Chain A
Amino acid sequence: EVQLVESGGGLVQPGGSLRLSCAASGFNFRIYWMSWVRQAPGKGLEWVANINEDGSGRFYVDSVKGRFTISRDDAKSSVSLQMNSLRAEDTAIYYCAQVTWGRFDWGQGTLVTVSS
Chain B
Amino acid sequence: QSALTQPPSASGSPGQSVTISCTGTSSDVGGYNHVSWYQQHPGKAPKVMIYEVNKRPSGVPDRFSGSKSGNTASLTVSGLQPEDEADYYCSSYAGTNGLFGGGTKLTVL
Contact = CB atoms under 8 A, between A and B. Distances in A.
A61 B87 CA distance: 23
Given A44-B89, A109-B45, A103 B51 contact: yes
Contacts, number: 66
A104 B34 contact: no
Nearest to B47: A106
Contact of B98 (A52, A99, A105, A109): A99
Given A45-B100, A47-B98, A109-B45, A103 B89 contact: no
Most chain B CB within 10 A, of A46, A59, A99, A104, is at A104
A37 interface: yes
B36 A102 contact: yes
A47 B89 contact: no
A101 B89 CA distance: 16
A50 B87 CA distance: 24
Interface residues of B, number: 26
Interface string A18-49: 00000000000000000101000000111100
A45 B89 contact: yes
Interface in A44-100: 44-47, 50, 52, 57, 59, 61, 95, 99
Contacts of A104: 36, 38, 46, 48, 91, 98
Contacts of B97: 47, 50, 59, 61
Nearest to B100: A45
A102 B91 contact: yes
Interface of B: 3, 32, 34-36, 38, 45-48, 51-52, 87, 89, 91-94, 96-103
11 contacts: A44-B103, A50-B96, A57-B96, A61-B97, A102-B92, A102-B93, A103-B48, A103-B91, A104-B38, A106-B47, A109-B45
